[in-house]
Amino acid sequence: MAAYVVALGRVDDDERFARYLEAVGPTLEAHHGKLLAVEDPADVLEGEAPYPRVVVIEFPSKADAHAWHVSREYRTCADDRLASSAHVLYLADGFTPPARLEERVRGWSSETLIRRSADAWSIQEHVGHLGDLEPLWATRLDELLGWCRRAEPSRPGESEDSRGRPQ
């Protein structure tokens, strides 16, 4: 899972910080780091910003980010950053978004999708009305799909995956 280093900072010595910028790129590449954003000053949407500069770096994992941060190559150039600026570095895991509703119902028969459940809405109606709220309703949709699957008679030769969906 991807991980992100988010740096908030202020540059006090432009010349020395420029040396850091020249040296840091190869250290990121060596650890598969990818610079995603640099903004100075960044737009503040809420609250009071402790520093004007924002930097976002993506790594394949937290382990890669930690390996970069403690590497000899990075620590050498970090001396220039530490002497020329004030920064706070955060490390956060990314996440995998849930499957879209359309992906979750792909492969289901029209008969199943239009069958009404006990609450009188069909899966098709749930998907149509709740698409904008899908993270909140993903669990409910799985429950409805399970209900429909149990209510639908099995067909000869039809196989199902571990969640009861046709393959």
SS3 string of the chain?
CCEEEEEEEEECCHHHHHHHHHHHHHHHHHCCCEEEEEECCCCCCCCCCCCCEEEEEEECCHHHHHHHHHCHHHHHHHHHHHHHEEEEEEEEECCCCCCCHHHHHCCCCHHHHHCECCCCCEHHHHHHHHHHHHHHHHHHHHHHHHHHHHHCCCCCCCCECCCCCEC
Residue with tokens 């949407």: 45
Are residues 88 and 105 both part of a single domain?
A: no
Are residues 81 and 106 both part of a single domain?
A: no
What is the pLDDT, as a whole number, of residue 163?
A: 47
Are residues 124 and 57 both part of a single domain?
A: no
* Structure confidence by residue, pLDDT tens digits, 80-123: 999 999 999 999 998 766 666 667 667 777 666 666 666 666 65
pTM score: 0.59
What is the pLDDT, as a whole number, of residue 138?
A: 64
Are residues 86 and 107 both part of a single domain?
A: no
Q: Kindly report the backbone phi and psi dihedral angles of residue 139, in degrees, each rounded to the nearest multiple of 5, phi listed first.
A: -65, -45
Number of structural domains (the chain) is 2
What is the pLDDT, as a whole number, of residue 61?
A: 95
In a domain, residue 164? The reply is no
Which residue numbers in the chain have pLDDT < 50? 163, 165, 167
In a domain, residue 163? The reply is no
Are residues 72 and 131 both part of a single domain?
A: no
What is the pLDDT, as a whole number, of residue 66?
A: 97
- Indicate which CATH number applies to the domain containing 13: 3.30.70.100
Are residues 67 and 87 both part of a single domain?
A: yes
* Single residue among 45, 61, 93 that ends a domain in this structure: 93
In a domain, residue 59? The reply is yes
- Please say whether the beta carbons of 57 and 4 come within 8 A: yes
* Cα distances (Å, whole numbers) of residue 13 to 18, 30, 119: 9, 27, 65
What is the pLDDT, as a whole number, of residue 110?
A: 67
In a domain, residue 36? The reply is yes
The closest alpha carbon to 31, from 9, 62, 77, 76, belongs to 62
Are residues 115 and 89 both part of a single domain?
A: no
What is the pLDDT, as a whole number, of residue 118?
A: 64
**Which residue range is the domain that position 49 belongs to?**
3-93
What is the pLDDT, as a whole number, of residue 132?
A: 53
What is the pLDDT, as a whole number, of residue 28?
A: 97
